[in-house]
């Protein structure tokens, strides 16, 4: 509370200085008072930010998966649009990221993609994007120009440090190798270097094909599995694992956290906060700060349920 008290005093001092400046017509003192208030405002914003992102792993990096859902080819295209949106957001924040796996769809877009993000509070901010995203538009793949609704899911888990203990029994794993996909030509991997790991008891699946070495892909896949297992166990302790698992299995109507409408009007609607914006092009280009901040503020201010 020392920081809070010092800022309250600073506000009081600035107000006194501003009153004296107005009485004396002292423009320099008035500007000094405004500068003090601006400093206090930034200090409060920093305190609010720290309160929003005070979770154990909020300051960590993140592992993000995008997966297409109901909607056919439009859903695959939408998944690729979501991937671009999230990567653009990372660019805006100055975070580094690496694409670990990308599975192209047959006609357009992607079936799924996974990337890891390194940057301050990447997990704390990106976790606001975890859930099902819904797109409404005139389908570019429909020769009759009809409106199409499609869905894609974003899953965000913390990129946990190696010193955080996660117990994984090797006997619970099924490890498959396959040939990494690509655009074709000389860059396509000719060996079965890609790795897919299934944790049989939970059904969690991870895969990596970014590296040419099977050993490196397996190591990265295990890192991703540790991250998912940590998130799964954490959710289970909070009695949310089954509900979260059920929601992620149904990437369709009734499960979306946010809708992006391109036709007959343009609007982004976050169903958790009811925040709406018509700046849909900016949002799809990665301008997510206001949407994320509004959600995290609401979540951090939510009353704690009594048991």
Q: Which of 175-179, 277-281, 300-304 has the highest mean pLDDT?
A: 277-281
Averaged pLDDT score across all residues of the chain: 84
Given a cut of 90, whether residue 147 has pLDDT beyond it is: yes
Q: How much is the average pLDDT of 265-283?
A: 97
Give per-residue pLDDT as tens, 25-83. 667 767 776 777 777 777 766 677 777 888 888 999 999 999 999 999 999 999 999 99
The percentage of the chain sitting over the pLDDT mark of 70, rounded to a whole number, equals 77
Predicted TM-score (pTM) of the model is 0.73
61-159+250-300: CATH topology:
Alpha-Beta Plaits (3.30.70)
272, exposed or middle or buried, with CB in 10 Å at 0-12, 13-18, 19+? middle
The pLDDT value given to residue 50: 74
Give per-residue pLDDT as tens, 161-191. 766 778 889 999 999 998 876 543 344 455 7
First to last CA, the chain: 28
Angle between helices 2-24 and 27-52 (to 10 degrees): 160
Given a cut of 50, whether residue 304 has pLDDT beyond it is: no
> Where residue 307 falls among pLDDT bands split at 50, 70, 90?
very low
Measured in whole angstroms, the distance separating CA 234 from the mean position of its chain's CA atoms is 18
Given a cut of 60, whether residue 270 has pLDDT beyond it is: yes
Q: How much is the average pLDDT of 196-214?
A: 91
The residues spanned by each domain of the chain are: 2-52, 61-159+250-300, 170-237
170-237: CATH topology:
Double Stranded RNA Binding Domain (3.30.160)
Q: How far apart are CA 62 and CA 224, in angstroms?
A: 10
The pLDDT value given to residue 95: 97
Give per-residue pLDDT as tens, 150-163. 999 999 999 987 66
The pLDDT value given to residue 233: 78
* Residue 93, CB-side half-sphere exposure with 13 Å CA sphere: 25
| Same topology between domain 61-159+250-300 and domain 170-237 | no
């Amino acid at each position: 509370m020392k920081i809070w008290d010092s800022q309250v005093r600073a506000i009081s001092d600035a107000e006194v200085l501003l009153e004296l400046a107005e009485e004396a017509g002292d423009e320099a003192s008035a500007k000094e008072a405004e500068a003090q208030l601006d400093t206090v405002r930034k200090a409060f914003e920093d305190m609010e930010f720290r309160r929003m992102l005070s979770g154990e792993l909020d300051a960590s990096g993140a592992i993000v998966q995008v997966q297409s859902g109901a909607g056919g080819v439009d859903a695959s295209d939408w998944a690729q649009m979501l991937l671009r949106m999230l990567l653009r957001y990372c660019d805006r924040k100055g975070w580094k990221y690496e694409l670990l796996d990308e599975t192209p769809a047959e006609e357009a877009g992607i079936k799924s993609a996974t990337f890891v993000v390194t940057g301050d509070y990447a997990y704390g901010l990106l976790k606001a994007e975890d859930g099902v995203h819904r797109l409404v538009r005139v389908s570019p793949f429909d020769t009759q120009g009809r409106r199409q609704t499609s869905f894609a899911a974003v899953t965000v888990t913390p990129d946990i440090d190696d010193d955080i203990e996660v117990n994984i029994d090797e006997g619970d794993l099924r490890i498959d190798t396959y040939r990494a996909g690509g655009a074709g030509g000389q860059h396509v991997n000719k060996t079965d270097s890609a790795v897919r790991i299934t944790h049989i008891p939970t059904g969690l699946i991870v895969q990596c094909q970014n590296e040419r070495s099977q050993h490196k892909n397996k190591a990265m896949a295990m890192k991703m599995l540790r991250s998912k297992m940590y998130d799964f166990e954490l959710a289970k302790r909070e009695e949310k694992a089954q509900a979260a698992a059920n929601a992620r299995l149904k990437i369709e109507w009734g499960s979306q956290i946010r809708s992006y409408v391109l036709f007959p009007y343009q609007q982004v609607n976050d169903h958790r906060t009811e925040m709406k914006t018509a700046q849909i092009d900016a949002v799809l280009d990665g301008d997510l700060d206001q949407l994320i901040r509004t959600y995290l503020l609401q979540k951090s201010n939510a009353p704690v349920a009594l048991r």
